[in-house]
Amino acid sequence: MKTNEDSNKELILLDDVFVDKTILVVDDVKVNYLLIKAMLFRTGAKIIWAEDGFTALELVSTDPKIDLVLMDYNMPIMDGFETTLKIKMTRADLPVLSQSTYTDSPLFDRANAPFDAYISKPIVPKTLIEEITKFL
């Protein structure tokens, strides 16, 4: 059984684990961005936001310091799938993690999706950090 002391030790280990890393959160809902930013606060990562696919493409093309992208799947104008395909055309090495309520749906075709990993909403902080750690 995990004690509060064990949980506190895990939290301490998160301090500055992503220092000098930049994570781009692409989500049309600002509250979702703010929640992710709060979840990653102790990691030391610089968290930036794009509210749509077009803004994300612009940021990725002009900021080589972006180390990872957390991409919402369902967005107006340009969805996360199309945005990720375009990102991968210019920065194939940039990890893009899909964050969506649709990732567990049978309609979500993981085999043909361009994402490097999938995080289901609602996002669990520990899962988010574990997935990011695989790529940073």
> Is the whole-model pTM more than 0.75?
yes
Whether the CB-CB separation of 11 and 59 falls below 8 Å is answered with: no
State pLDDT tens for residues 22-40. 999 999 999 999 999 999 9
CA distance 25 to 16: 18
Residue 11 has pLDDT above 80, yes or no: no
pLDDT given for residue 17 in this prediction: 87
Quick one: which H or E segment has residue 8? helix 4-14
What are the Cα distances from residue 109, in Å, to 81, 105, 116, 124? 11, 9, 13, 22
Edge-first strand listing for the sheet containing 66-72:
46-50, 22-26, 66-72, 96-100, 117-120
Average pLDDT, the chain: 86
Which CATH superfamily hosts domain 15-133?
Answer: Response regulator (3.40.50.2300)
State pLDDT tens for residues 84-110. 999 999 999 999 999 987 655 544 555
Residue 54 has pLDDT above 90, yes or no: yes
CA distance 111 to 134: 20
